[in-house]
Structure 1
Amino acid sequence: MGSYNPAQAYKNNSVTTASPGELTLMLYNGALKFLKQAKNALVEKQWEKSHEYNVRVQDIFQELIVTLDRSYPIAEQMFQLYDYLYRRMIEANIKKEIAILDEVEEFVIQFRDTWKQAMVLAKTQG
């Protein structure tokens, strides 16, 4: 028999009830969390853990790519940025370079902060 985990149940419920905008914000926040964990694992020379967190960030970029609404002109630019960052994560994983992770993290912070502002604007205008 499985045990009930209230924290996991809350997390699952928050994802299943989130709007598309909130889901995107969750992806950005998840990428930032895993980037920090990947960097910490590299510092501690925990190669397997670093790889695991790096792959999670790669998975997030893939999700962001496949969920882009291509009916908007900006989607192609976002595709190119996500694809670039995805490839940089692969490079960081191969070379074990924190500097590359720092670069990706800066982009994700900018995306997240801009997305938060866009969500606020959308709520006040809609």
Structure 2
Amino acid sequence: MFNNDNPLIAYRQNAGAARIAAASPQQLVVILLEHLLDELDYIENYIATMQLNHKGDSISKCLEILHVLDASLDTQNGGELAENLHQLYDFCSRRLLTVNLRNQPEPLAEVRRVIIPLKEGWEGTT
């Protein structure tokens, strides 16, 4: 589970696991959104350096994060807010698929314009 070859990596993994274990549901959403934003940066770099296999891995991680966020919505009781979040997650997923197909980073900016305000909103609830 942890990489003991590099003490810095092992420390970061342990610190990350501890942060997740102690997080409230709201904080977990923030952590997921932070990871999503990090992966967007990686995708942009992978496209620029033509590391397309890594780009695909990062896009898969982003899609998985968006799926987890979407699956966590309370569609029974969440009303319009849950529906709006579902639509935003779907939009982001479609834009990421466009990035994957075209190897063009421009749609990543659109995803960031959606995710950054969401993350800031969730940070205000923690």
In structure 2, the partner of 1:123 is none
Task: Give yes or no for the alignment of 1:77 onto 2:84.
Answer: yes
RMSD: 1.6
Q: In structure 2, what residue type is equivalent to 1:18?
A: A
Q: CA deviation at 1:42?
A: 0.5
Task: Give yes or no for the alignment of 1:104 onto 2:111.
Answer: yes
Q: Percent of aligned pairs with the same residue?
A: 24
Superposition pairs of residues 29-108 of structure 1, within 5 angstroms: 29-70=34-75, 71-73=77-79, 74-108=81-115
Where does the alignment leave 5 or more consecutive residues of structure 2 unmatched?
none
1:29-57, Cα deviation, whole Å (9 max, x unpaired):
00000000100110111111111111111
| Runs of 4+ with deviation above 2 angstroms | 2-7
Higher relative CO (Cα under 8 Å, sequence separation at least 6) belongs to 2
Quote the Cα distance in structure 2 between the aligned partners of 1:100 and 1:85. 9
Quote the Cα distance in structure 2 between the aligned partners of 1:33 and 1:65. 19
Q: In structure 1, what residue type is equivalent to 2:43?
A: A
- TM-score, structure 1 normalization: 0.86
Q: In structure 2, what residue type is equivalent to 1:105?
A: R
Q: In structure 1, what residue type is equivalent to 2:78?
A: Y
Quote the Cα distance in structure 2 between the aligned partners of 1:7 and 1:115. 23
Quote the Cα distance in structure 2 between the aligned partners of 1:33 and 1:27. 10
SS of the residue 2:35 aligns to: helix
SS of the residue 2:50 aligns to: coil
Where does the alignment leave 5 or more consecutive residues of structure 1 unmatched?
121-126
Quote the Cα distance in structure 1 between the aligned partners of 2:55 and 2:35. 15
Quote the Cα distance in structure 2 between the aligned partners of 1:46 and 1:6. 27
For the 8 Å contact 2:99–2:108, the answer to whether it is kept is yes
For the 8 Å contact 2:27–2:123, the answer to whether it is kept is no
Quote the Cα distance in structure 2 between the aligned partners of 1:46 and 1:25. 28
